[in-house]
Structures are given as structure tokens and as C-alpha cells.
Amino acid sequence: MGKEQRWKPQERKGFRATGISEACQRSALLTWLLSWHTFKSFYCHSCGCWNEEAGSSRKVEIPLVTDVLKRVVRSCVAAAGYSVGEFAALVFAGALSFAEALYAVKVRAEAMQKASEAVPSGMLSVVGRREANYKFACLEARQHCESLGVANPVCAVSNYLFPDCRVIAGHLQALEFLQENARKYYFTRTKMLPVSGAFHTRLMEPAVEPLAEVLKSIEIQKPLVCVYSNVDGKKYMHSKHIQKLLVKQVVSPVMWEQTMHSVYERKQGTEFPYTYEVGPGKQLGAILKKCNLKAWKQYKHVDALEDEEAAET
């Protein structure tokens, strides 16, 4: 990236630190960067919790915003984003600006698409019985590919969703082999996903450098709210940590099930936080229900785009 293209650091407009309260815990699951941007405009600017601290006088008054929703944002203590949604979580937490995150996502998407076009590959959703051994199944699928003359084949778990459910990604020949031998590996259901490549595997290695270069050129700050990484299910510690793991995430499995356990781990008898999924669809809510039924009972979905349209009518 040339010097003239380098992103200029923008003024940080984040939460008031005093607004984050452990006494009224709320978490947020973020799936889509644009949804977070509209959610931020709709729910946050109306109560001024983003801009008043930075001295901005901008304030959008929308009658549909309730005091409860204002408190949700002010008191949020944790956020996580699934795959590319991790950028949305980091914007939410004040670690990235929206514009810079959007540019990084664009570069990431283009680089991953280019990597996908280099090798016929895909992703297979698998639900298995308790006896299922996903690593062994992937090993035999790779051996099958080698017997077909595929050099250095890839077949590995790319997403840990909930108990007994995984997404396996790799060469198409490997995924076809798993579908044909589903009974042997105790898979009860398999379904090819409508994607163009084996995301979160080493087939995405060509996308690593372009994303790494972009992340070096933008301002990353320590999150004001705990954000959990897809790579290991643990909290981000500082800006360099974020930069390193966002790059590693491209070629690493999404540890979403493990992240859910980290987010909701608490002493027996402690109340679970309110959880808000921001974005189109309720897939993360469905996964949370499978991972932790008690936590799911405090779950709500927010489709920020629909809410914004309702506010404009």
C-alpha cells in the first residue's frame, strides 16, 4: 500500500468508560459490519453515549428508542463477532473506526475470493453423533485426495459451531468423499454450503499478506469492551494482539463454540447477561441455544436495518 493511500488516524469516539457496568451485564453478538453501523446510529447517537464524550453536538432523536435500549449499549461488557463479524465487534468496542474496518473487510474479501478461485474448494456443514471423529474423517478424506493425484490436499474443521456440529472445509474431492461415506464416520447430516472456497483453512494463505498490510496501516486501539477472538475464544488484550489474530483468523478455524463457553462462564447461581444479536438472521441465537440454553433465555435479536427503516417511515 503506497504512502498516499495510507489511512489517516481518526479521532476516537468510544464509550464513556464509566458507562460500562458489571452490575448490569449485557453482551452483544455481532454478525455484520453494516448492521453494527446502523445499530450504532440508531441506538447510540440518539442517547449521545458515543458523541457527547468526544464533544460532538450531533444527536439523532428517534422516538422508537427506549431507555432500556440506551442502557443496553451503555452497560455492555462483552462482544464477539462470527468470522468477518469480528470486525463489527471491534468497531463496537472502539478498537477500530467504521471506515477503516470497512476498508480492511473489503481487502480481506477480495483476497479471500482470489484465493478461492485458485483451487476448487468449499465448505461442508456436518452434524454428527457423539461417536463422530472429525479429525480422523478429515485425515481419510485427505488420503483419498492423494489417491486421486491431488497434491498437498486440504480437509479440516473450519468452524466449531455447537456440540456435534462442525463445518469442514477443503478440496471439493475431500468433501464429496465425506458425503459419500457419512455413515462410516457417524455423520447424521451433511450439507454443502453455498460458498466459493475453503475459508478458515490454509487454502486462504494467499489472503494473509494483503490483510496484514492493511492492518499495519490503520489505527487499532485497545477495546473499551471485552472482545473475544475467533482464533482461541479468549479476550483481545491490546492492539498488536488484535492485529496478529485478525490475520491468523483467515487461516484458522472459527472457535465459536469455545467462545460461547468463555463468554458465558460464571459461578453457579450467577445470572446470565442479556445477549443481543445484531445483524440479519438469528443464526448465532440458534447456536447459543445449542451451547447454553440458560444463557439463550436472555437472548434477543436486533435487525438494525429493519429498525432503521421503521424509524424513517
Predicted pLDDT at 75? 81
Per-residue pLDDT reduced to its tens digit, 190-223: 999 999 999 999 999 999 999 999 999 999 999 9
Task: Determine the residue type at 146.
Answer: E
Per-residue pLDDT reduced to its tens digit, 28-46: 666 555 555 544 543 333 2
Find where cell 477480495 sits. Answer: 110
Residues noted as catalytic = 83, 200
Residue whose C-alpha is closest to residue 65's, from 48, 46, 52: 46
Sign of CA dihedral 279, 283, 287, 288: positive
Find where cell 438472521 sits. Answer: 281
Question: How far is Cα 98 from Cα 92, in angstroms, rounded to an integer?
Answer: 9
Strands, sheet with 26-30, edge to edge from the N-terminal-most edge strand: 226-228, 76-81, 26-30, 274-278, 299-302
Please report, rounded to a whole number, the percentage of residues in the chain having pLDDT higher than 90: 65
Question: How far is Cα 197 from Cα 162, in angstroms, rounded to an integer?
Answer: 22
Per-residue pLDDT reduced to its tens digit, 136-191: 999 999 999 999 999 999 999 999 999 999 999 999 999 999 999 999 999 999 99
Indicate the SS3 state at residue 97.
Answer: coil
Q: Which residue has the higher pLDDT, 303 or 231?
A: 231
Per-residue pLDDT reduced to its tens digit, 234-289: 999 999 999 999 999 999 999 999 999 999 998 888 888 889 898 888 999 999 99
Distances (CA, A) of 250 to 48, 87, 165, 206: 35, 12, 20, 10
C-alpha cell at 121: 474448494
This prediction has a pTM of: 0.80
For the cut 60, the answer to whether the pLDDT of residue 135 exceeds it is: yes
Indicate the SS3 state at residue 128.
Answer: strand
Q: What is the DSSP string of 51-84?
A: TTTTT-------TT--HHHHHHHHTEEEEEESTT
Query: Please, what is the end-to-end C-alpha distance for the chain in angstroms?
Result: 43
- Please, what's the b/e burial string for 203-223 (b: 16 or more CB within 10 A of its CB; e: otherwise)? bbebbbebbeebbeebebbeb
